Amino acid sequence: MTNNELKIYSSLKYKKHRQAQGLFLVEGLKVIEELLKSNFEIVKILSLEEVLNRLEIDNYSLIEQVNFKTLSRISNMKTSTDVIAIVKLPKPKLAEKTPKTILIDTIQDPGNLGTIIRTAHWFGFNQIICSDNSVDLFNYKVIQASMGAVFKIKVSYVNLENFIPQLQDNGFRILGAFMSGASIYDFKFSNNDIFILGNEGRGISTKIEKLIDQKITIPSFAKGDKTESLNISIAGAVICSEMAKSFES
């Protein structure tokens, strides 16, 4: 590996450099195994010698054996991994007006987004649409938290204020997750429902709230003092579980 390549790969920790180079990093054998099953274009796989025989890959010319020091310089992780893939950024995906979709308004924590992506894929959702000021999909924490689900489910970014009315014009009912509203355990979901999760601290923004057709909530069953709220990714998982029951086969 040249010093210039090392410099470029090390810079991919930051969104502006990912966009400038058209590349992103995937770290860890389990996540790379999911990457290898996808259509994402791999530029190079950097690996320790002891991991080489564990990689099930057709094109071995993509693999370059490196030492731990080199991986540590490139890795985003505090405890450096033993294998890193350099991957081409795909073209931004266009949001579709289809069922089994989740909308996310201004999510900032990459771990939360990754967990939501992993959960959405588990429950059979096809698409996640984030507001255009949300955390970058190819942040390494998003990829790690998704455990490779970022390679299996469509994620796009839009101006939600403009896109939600288009969904409604196509017959979709927009549900917003709030601290008060119709209980998800009593609510009759349909295949034409799409729900929105809000920002970790502020929830759904006022401008998006005005566009929502129905507020829904996850009621607490705690006795006495209740916790303030659920983490956004946990709330998303609970709603996904209930909503998936309405999906048509």
Given the DSSP bridges, would you call strands 214-217 and 63-65 parallel, antiparallel or unpaired? unpaired
Specify the CATH number for the domain of residue 36. 3.30.1330.30
Q: How does DSSP classify residue 136?
A: P
Q: How does DSSP classify residue 203?
A: B
Position 213 in a domain: yes
Q: How does DSSP classify residue 206?
A: H
Last residue of a domain, one of 53, 88, 123: 88
Phi-psi region for residue 100, left (φ > 0), alpha (ψ -120 to 50) or beta? left
The values of phi and psi at residue 153, to 5°, are: -125, 145
Q: How does DSSP classify residue 229?
A: -
Residues 236 and 139 reside in one and the same domain: yes
Last residue of a domain, one of 33, 61, 88: 88
Last residue of a domain, one of 88, 121, 147: 88
At 140, the amino acid letter reads: Y
Residues 73 and 138 reside in one and the same domain: no
Residues 105 and 78 reside in one and the same domain: no
Per-residue pLDDT, 226: 63
Specify the CATH number for the domain of residue 221. 3.40.1280.10
* Residue whose tokens read 């993509």: 62
Position 125 in a domain: yes
Residues 67 and 125 reside in one and the same domain: no
* Residue whose tokens read 């010319």: 61
CA-based end-to-end distance of the chain: 50
Position 106 in a domain: yes
Residues 114 and 61 reside in one and the same domain: no
Per-residue pLDDT, 227: 67
Structural domain span for residue 203: 101-246
Residues 19 and 119 reside in one and the same domain: no
Position 95 in a domain: no
Residues 198 and 146 reside in one and the same domain: yes
Phi-psi region for residue 203, left (φ > 0), alpha (ψ -120 to 50) or beta? left
Per-residue pLDDT, 57: 82
Residues 8 and 127 reside in one and the same domain: no
Q: How does DSSP classify residue 207?
A: H
Position 189 in a domain: yes
The first and second tokens of residue 218, run together, are 């996850």
Position 94 in a domain: no
Q: Give pLDDT tens digits along the chain (249 positions).
A: 889 999 999 999 999 999 999 999 999 999 999 999 999 999 999 999 888 888 888 787 899 999 999 999 999 887 778 999 999 999 999 999 999 999 999 999 999 999 999 999 999 999 999 999 999 999 999 999 999 999 999 999 999 999 999 999 999 999 999 999 999 999 999 999 999 999 988 899 999 999 999 999 999 888 876 667 789 999 999 999 999 998 864
Per-residue pLDDT, 52: 83
Question: 176: part of which helix (H) or strand (E)?
Answer: strand 173-183
Residues 194 and 115 reside in one and the same domain: yes
Other Cβ atoms closer than 10 A to 119: 21
Per-residue pLDDT, 56: 81
Residues 151 and 205 reside in one and the same domain: yes
For the chain, the domain total comes to 2
Residues 112 and 180 reside in one and the same domain: yes
The first and second tokens of residue 153, run together, are 């489910």
